[in-house]
Structure 1
């Protein structure tokens, strides 16, 4: 019986990166032996055990064979006869197919170290093409390691393209896809994730609404980068640079979907793309089974991001309606995330990356002015129910009118 560290723990140690989770592999043991040693079984499909002291996962060496469609379409075989080499060959990438024994000796039968040095994400064997989830995983690794200079090997990209064209991606469950997509969006280069999916044809299969943005032109005055898809990639880069949460990154991914439906004869203008995009955002939200907070923010950003950009021009009544729509009195954090998404959208343009975004501070101040309206004086007037609500709304609108006037006066004073 031998115990090895495998996968990411070995890879990240060799890259000099912090190691958080350790995967352990047990070669030459039976289920009975593991139970006798006090390990607790947890695996349904194949034998995985929890260490009696540390609680870490230990898996028996196994082989796998394709037996159906999709991520779950595999038959596993675990036995004491399965060697370390046989277990490692079923893994996705060479850099994830290395092992280390208790003495620190490295087992690297498939050239993982070589590909680490070459900064290549390369598949271990042709069996890579049997698992559609690996398309998303490789794109996610590309997003994680792009800052270190990693790219996907040409032959691996070809296999990913083959998987995309086979229709196997449609067999992925929404839960598995969302897990990979959400993790990838939080990597240092989420734009690389989208680009790699596009390069292998998977974006058109998984997120056709996003894929449709590429090649669609915008007005050069506002978007010097022209291409809507390129703009999207730049917005995602800004999200990572400014360490935005998943809700904001998801909203930014979907904020311009309506532009993909603009008729070519109307290019480069995209009138009412905000409203046209809502149906598409709902479709993507539902298909990916995104969490509720991600779904809500994506729809609000899609509909109102141009309001954010035009904040300084908005009438008091429009400001009031915007704040009401976001329910800033009970959910101010959601409005803050909206402002962050708007700022990422504004910065995700060629030459605008370092530009200030005063609209965010302006709208934050407007929110504070509306939230500062006290309800107690209205209650003391004996107002209740609908009458109280109407009076409160009038008071908030009045506060926003005064806020807007004071802001315009301050601006006028500053220019003289």
Structure 2
């Protein structure tokens, strides 16, 4: 029985990239031997075991054969005679098809180290096209290692295009698409994930609402980059650079979906794009089963982001109602996330990436003002429904004072 560290841990070890998860492959063993050594079985489709102490995953060496549609359409074969090379060839990329033994010796039958040096994401074999999830995984790797100069090999991109055209991507479950996308969104260059998906035609299949933004013009005086799709990815880049949360990054990604629905006669203006965006944002969230909190922030940013940009011009009562819709009293963190997303929108524009955005602090100050006014601060003779009315009145008055204290904005 021989044990090898495999996959991402070997890749990242050779790159000097931090990693936490370790996966192992076991050659020459049977399930009975693993159980006898105290390993706990967890695999359903093929034998995977947890180490009795470290709880790290140990999988028996296996081969696989395509037997159906989609990510789960495989039959697996495990046997003590399955070699390390046979196990590694079923993997997606050459840089993921390396193994390391307990002495630190690297086994690299498919030239992964060469592709690490060339900074190429290259498929191991034509069996790549049997698993549609690999399209998303390669796009995610492209985003993760973009800062190191990695690109998708042209021949691998062609296979990704074949998968996008085959109809296999539609067989992916919503959970798998969201899992890969949410992980990609948390990379430092999340925008690359969507660029790669677009370059192989997968964006149109999986995210048609985002794909539809490319080629839609905007007014150059507000958007020097002009293209709505480019603006969306520039805004997402801002969210990544600021290291904002997944909720903020997703909200930024979908904040302008309504612009794809602007009647051509109105272009390059986008009147009412906020309202038009509600339906496509809802569609994306429901199709991908996006978590509720993530969806709620996305809808709020879609519907209200222009009000954030216009914050200094809002009347105190209008500002209060905006904060109320954002659930300012119960969920101040949502107001903060909303402001962050709007700031990314304002800065995701060509040449305006470092522009000042004083609206952010103004809204945060407004949030603190309204939250500081509580029922116990009101006169004791105020009772019943009058309490709520007076709280609103006091909060709007406080917002009026805050507005009056602001310097005149250009």
The bucket for the TM-score relative to the shorter chain is over 0.9
Q: State how far apart, in whole Å, the 2-side matches of 1:68 and 1:78 are.
A: 19
Match of residue 274 from structure 2: 274
TM-superposed deviation, 1:102: 1.3
Q: What's the CA shift string for 1:73-131, capped at 9, x where partnerless?
A: 11111110110010001100000000011121111111101110100000111111011
What are the ranges of 5 or more consecutive residues in structure 1 without an aligned counterpart? none
TM-superposed deviation, 1:372: 1.6
TM-superposed deviation, 1:382: 4.1
3-state SS of paired residue (2:232): helix
TM-superposed deviation, 1:374: 2.4
Aligned-residue RMSD, C-alpha = 1.2
Q: State how far apart, in whole Å, the 1-side matches of 2:117 and 2:401 are.
A: 62
Match of residue 365 from structure 1: 365
Q: State how far apart, in whole Å, the 2-side matches of 1:192 and 1:406 are.
A: 43
Q: State how far apart, in whole Å, the 1-side matches of 2:68 and 2:81 are.
A: 25
Q: What's the CA shift string for 1:387-413, capped at 9, x where partnerless?
A: 322221122112112221222xx449x
Q: Is the 8 A contact 1:379 1:388 kept in 2?
A: no
TM-superposed deviation, 1:378: 3.5
Q: State how far apart, in whole Å, the 1-side matches of 2:18 and 2:113 are.
A: 18
Match of residue 239 from structure 2: 239
Match of residue 391 from structure 1: 390
Match of residue 311 from structure 1: 311
Q: State how far apart, in whole Å, the 2-side matches of 1:247 and 1:192 are.
A: 18
Q: What's the CA shift string for 1:31-56, capped at 9, x where partnerless?
A: 11111111111111110111112111
3-state SS of paired residue (2:156): helix
Runs of 4+ in 1 over 3 A off after TM superposition: none
Q: State how far apart, in whole Å, the 1-side matches of 2:105 and 2:398 are.
A: 70
Are residue 404 (structure 1) and residue 408 (structure 2) matched?
Answer: no
Q: What's the CA shift string for 1:156-199, capped at 9, x where partnerless?
A: 10110110111111111111111000000001111100000000
What are the ranges of 5 or more consecutive residues in structure 2 without an aligned counterpart? none
Q: State how far apart, in whole Å, the 1-side matches of 2:380 and 2:232 are.
A: 51
Match of residue 331 from structure 1: 331
Counting matched residue pairs gives 410
Map 1:19-34; keep pairs closer than 5 Å.
19-34=19-34
Q: State how far apart, in whole Å, the 2-side matches of 1:406 and 1:15 are.
A: 53
Map 1:1-400; keep pairs closer than 5 Å.
1-378=1-378, 380-384=380-384, 386-400=385-399
Q: State how far apart, in whole Å, the 2-side matches of 1:391 and 1:331 are.
A: 21
Q: Is the 8 A contact 1:65 1:74 kept in 2?
A: yes
Q: State how far apart, in whole Å, the 2-side matches of 1:140 and 1:321 are.
A: 39
Q: State how far apart, in whole Å, the 1-side matches of 2:23 and 2:369 are.
A: 53
Q: State how far apart, in whole Å, the 2-side matches of 1:406 and 1:147 are.
A: 44
TM-superposed deviation, 1:65: 0.6
3-state SS of paired residue (2:38): coil
TM-superposed deviation, 1:377: 3.8
Distance change >3 Å, CA 23–CA 379, structure 1 → 2: farther
Q: Is the 8 A contact 1:25 1:60 kept in 2?
A: yes
Q: State how far apart, in whole Å, the 2-side matches of 1:406 and 1:100 are.
A: 65
TM-superposed deviation, 1:379: 6.8
Q: What's the CA shift string for 1:125-146, capped at 9, x where partnerless?
A: 1111011100000000000001
3-state SS of paired residue (2:378): helix
TM-superposed deviation, 1:250: 0.3
3-state SS of paired residue (1:115): helix
Q: State how far apart, in whole Å, the 1-side matches of 2:71 and 2:389 are.
A: 55
Q: State how far apart, in whole Å, the 2-side matches of 1:363 and 1:55 are.
A: 47
TM-score by length of 2: 0.98
Q: State how far apart, in whole Å, the 1-side matches of 2:93 and 2:196 are.
A: 16
Q: State how far apart, in whole Å, the 2-side matches of 1:229 and 1:10 are.
A: 36
TM-score by length of 1: 0.97
